[in-house]
Structure 1
């Protein structure tokens, strides 16, 4: 009897060991698959955002007023347009990822064309914002001299915005099928070229701000040309089959998803941007705008890591839902959140140690640097929240729940965070710190809601919705699929 009990205990122990070993194997396998997408996905936003920050750094060394003007155009107007573009392309990326997981390869090329049509159309509609940048900024209460100078730079952002639209569409198309080398290569190349051209045109040849803006446009032209050539010259033979009228057949359904995704992301992008106009009419506007811009740039650099994990989560979740594997989708979220938060902690420690010197990377103004140091505790808190929140947004993207999250963002940011920021900043006279505390509070509420949504997700329902979302809209499309993909 004792021998039987001993044998049973051994069997239980061995079973636990095997189960634990199997769990670690799954986590390790998912981690490798995550980094295949996340690595390049971090490089791309790191590069694109890096181009903007490098431009700011060169302009900041020319003149602090020029820096404030450039920062206004970027943070108030361009980020709004960028949020719409990025969000709408992310919505189409959901369809690409789910179709790829379901092996509906022919659909990806159609979705790429639809993404370009939608994002370029929206960019054209947003162009007047750049044309009338100066009066818009003045209407928002900004310093008139800075707003007038911003109006001189804003037309350059029109070209950048159109280049962004195509680049994002190609990125989503390639990342959904894990074709990451070409994306990474052109991301790094464009950043290196921008550093060299900015130095050559603004410092060596003394073209100043105009030289920096020319370099910026060239930097975004490079990945567009490279990715388009790669796609059309045989790099994506299964998923790109040339231009087709099918891109217009179901454009309405794709546009609806793209719009809901665009609203979701745009509400996030514009939320932090509100800091600038809310504090731009406080005392010492130039120093305030410069200090906040530097803080947002530092936060933006760190957030590029989380944005990479957001893209990875979106691709992994959408792929697994396409394959009808809810458990794998859930595991991908857990691994991505854990990894991103761990990296976020390291970034926070690094910034706390070097906070006194961080501002001098962007400015040589001692007063601005002191203002940045004063805001550093709030920046650390924001860095921690931003290491989790974008990854959970990736869950929403991968499952196609952008419409729901758009309402969550609206309530958390604009009904809680923004009123609280105005109350603390203007009524309780906490000024910049008060406004930012309110903004961060809204982000915390939104993050908490996303955590609940992720924990309570019905994965069988999400699989069913994903299959309906990518189902062929017509019998003709169904026939095309079976003739080209017999498996």
Structure 2
């Protein structure tokens, strides 16, 4: 066989490495780098686009519920908002984190061509997340007394407690949904997941119209329960219907083995993500202690909503880079993993710059989409530059988290989050906001300092990474988890 035909058979990443070894002309080397970067960008978008669509669609389920509840009255709206933003915000980080062990292990297994373990990892994750949901259930059962303990309005607390009990089925839907998502993402099978989510959003709108005005909060809870379980069942039917002959071979008792080791990885992921997702909630509590707290809380809530919508985009990039890094490390392609990080980071940062620029340009206008109160509009406009900086940082930081999950660095990043957010960011915000009387702007400046420090530390960690060593770590992890299935 000729040398030319051998070269044509090489994968793109192998061809790049061949050029580096053979030392061709500089122009030809850059041409190959450009070609591979474009190919990597295409692969990244094939995962990121449906991941973004899925995130937006599933977030819209809660958004639609709130929109239908609003006309019922302020008490009902406040009750649903508390459950969604406080209770489910707390639960979201825990459940997503506990389900993320599948992301690291399955992603690297796919890269190594070891598909037989994916179904076992999924079933293990089901067990772990289901037990986690059982432990979290008392939070739903005792929502009302817990809210009263922290001096929330009694009528709102009662309404929120009643609604929380009715949405317990959604908690268990999360327990199955997150592992399923990671299982599908690891294999880059994400478009079906997006289509299911979009279709369910349309159906959820109809359910709310049918149930909310007739049954109130209970009708909203039932609509949410039905919609979330349709998503879970539809995705599971897709998995077991023969589309994954290698990675899903049915239920297995092997899923009951090595649960403790799997739990340790799950807990590390949960620690990393919980410290991340709880941070904004604690900031809102800090703001609530300021003088004229109503205006301050409304202003920070508007900014949080704007920030969250932009995070929908960057979370798609986070999912994409996690899959690409884990796949390439599992396949032993350290240069391809490094390239995936670079391409995704540059793309997400450019998107962040665009969103930040739009935020600054419209800082006096975007608050009007949320409120007509002049005091709130004015206070929110003052935060426009802070919001733009937060959006820019949040275009980088989720990608770094995605790299951490793909490479299996959850424990290290969890500690970094704890120090930067809770030992530096929040105390700095408290000092600036209260001790130095800088108010809302002081609190957010301190919080941003923690976020910026965390991002810089993760970037430094990334720059110092030896990707060849990460391939070795991935090989060790794959061997460890495939031992029980080797005959």
- TM exceeds 0.5? yes
Q: How far apart are residue 434 of structure 1 and its match?
A: 2.4
Is 1:229 paired with 2:243? no
1:344/1:473 Cα in 2 relative to 1: closer, same or farther (>3 Å)? closer
Q: Per-residue CA shift, 1:71-93, capped at 9, x if unaligned?
A: 33223221121101111212221
- How many residues align structurally? 465
Q: How far apart are residue 424 of structure 1 and its match?
A: 1.7
**Aligned residue among 433, 436, 445 for 1:428:** 436
1:19/1:177 Cα in 2 relative to 1: closer, same or farther (>3 Å)? same
- Residue in 1 that maps onto 2:83: 73
User: Does the 8 Å CA contact 1:306/1:391 hold for their aligned counterparts?
Assistant: yes
Q: How far apart are residue 276 of structure 1 and its match?
A: 2.3
User: Does the 8 Å CA contact 1:363/1:369 hold for their aligned counterparts?
Assistant: yes
- State the superposition RMSD in angstroms: 2.3
Is 1:83 paired with 2:111? no
Cα distance between partner residues in 2 of 1:65 and 1:346: 38
1:383/1:108 Cα in 2 relative to 1: closer, same or farther (>3 Å)? same
Q: Per-residue CA shift, 1:192-244, capped at 9, x if unaligned?
A: 22333334444xx4544444333322321221111011111112111100000
Cα distance between partner residues in 2 of 1:357 and 1:200: 35
Cα distance between partner residues in 2 of 1:153 and 1:275: 25
Cα distance between partner residues in 2 of 1:345 and 1:419: 28
User: Does the 8 Å CA contact 2:167/2:224 hold for their aligned counterparts?
Assistant: no
Cα distance between partner residues in 2 of 1:473 and 1:383: 38
Is 1:270 paired with 2:278? yes
Is 1:447 paired with 2:455? yes
The DSSP-based 3-state class of the residue aligned with 2:100 is: helix
Q: Per-residue CA shift, 1:129-164, capped at 9, x if unaligned?
A: 122223323444545554444323322442222111
Unmatched tracts of structure 2, length 5 or more: 1-22
Cα distance between partner residues in 2 of 1:173 and 1:474: 17
Q: How far apart are residue 179 of structure 1 and its match?
A: 1.0
Q: How far apart are residue 65 of structure 1 and its match?
A: 4.8
User: Does the 8 Å CA contact 2:133/2:172 hold for their aligned counterparts?
Assistant: yes
Is 1:407 paired with 2:415? yes
Unmatched tracts of structure 1, length 5 or more: 1-12, 480-487
TM-score normalized by structure 2?
0.89
- Residue in 1 that maps onto 2:387: 379
TM-score normalized by structure 1?
0.89
Cα distance between partner residues in 2 of 1:262 and 1:183: 23
Is 1:161 paired with 2:171? yes
**Aligned residue among 24, 30, 49 for 2:59:** 49
**Aligned residue among 250, 264, 272 for 1:256:** 264
1:155/1:282 Cα in 2 relative to 1: closer, same or farther (>3 Å)? farther
Is 1:326 paired with 2:334? yes
Q: How far apart are residue 369 of structure 1 and its match?
A: 4.4
1:470/1:14 Cα in 2 relative to 1: closer, same or farther (>3 Å)? closer
- Between stretches 299-308 and 422-431, larger displacement belongs to 422-431
The DSSP-based 3-state class of the residue aligned with 1:470 is: helix
- Residue in 2 that maps onto 1:456: 464
Cα distance between partner residues in 1 of 2:205 and 2:297: 24
User: Does the 8 Å CA contact 2:367/2:377 hold for their aligned counterparts?
Assistant: yes
Matches within 5 A, 1:331-410: 331-359=339-367, 361-362=369-370, 368-410=376-418
Cα distance between partner residues in 1 of 2:122 and 2:298: 38
Cα distance between partner residues in 2 of 1:257 and 1:227: 24
- Between stretches 260-269 and 119-128, larger displacement belongs to 119-128
